[in-house]
Amino acid sequence: MSAILHRLHQDHVRLGRLLDLFEALLDQIHEGDEPDYGLLKEALDYMCAYADGIHHPTEDLVFQRLLDQGVETPEVFERLMRQHQSLTQVAQRFQRALDAILNEEVLLREDVELDGRELLATMRAHLHLEEEEAFPVALERLTAADWAAIEAAAPAVDDPLAGPDPQQFRALYHYLVEQAAG
């Protein structure tokens, strides 16, 4: 497996854990409890910053390369690239709802939960499509030279959660470390 594809898969593992966190916090909202909105916001901020700035652009390079080579199922890759745009919009809508809550604005809990559930379902379906349909084709079709070209063009920023005790997403990092240990 190429280093890029391995990194993208590891990103999906971390994003999956974030989505589990989202689901647990959304369940608290549904049950009428007060979740840790700050942790939820930090998780969403991380997801938006890293996914939109690093992860999705890297995937788009992979998918475009496959499209340029005339892959047999171009609609899958075109759809995934369009979803990167729509995921940003869904995430931003949920982000605005969380910002409003943290600024003590009055919102219906059901509306906040609905925005969060939409993001959760959309992200899980997207990750599944990438893992089950796109990545196997990339692994089969792309050569070492293709991967080297993708790596040279890909954003070269490290995942802020992958390093030791990151400053920007400290609460989220500690939550994920505790989940992995326990």
SS3 content of the chain, % helix, strand, coil (to 5): 80, 0, 20
Q: What is the CATH number of the domain that holds 106?
A: 1.20.120.520
- Domain extent at residue 86: 3-181
What pLDDT does residue 165 have? 57
Domain count, the chain: 1
Span 106-115, pLDDT tens digits: 888 888 889 9
Please tell me the least confidently modeled range out of 4-13, 136-145, 171-180: 171-180
Per-residue pLDDT tens for 141-179?
Answer: 999 999 999 999 998 776 776 655 566 777 777 777 676
User: What's this model's pTM, rounded to 2 decimal places?
Assistant: 0.87
Q: Taking the CA of residue 178 as centre, how many other CA atoms within 13 Å lie in the half-sphere pointing to its CB?
A: 7
- What is the share, in percent, of the chain residues with pLDDT greater than 90? 52
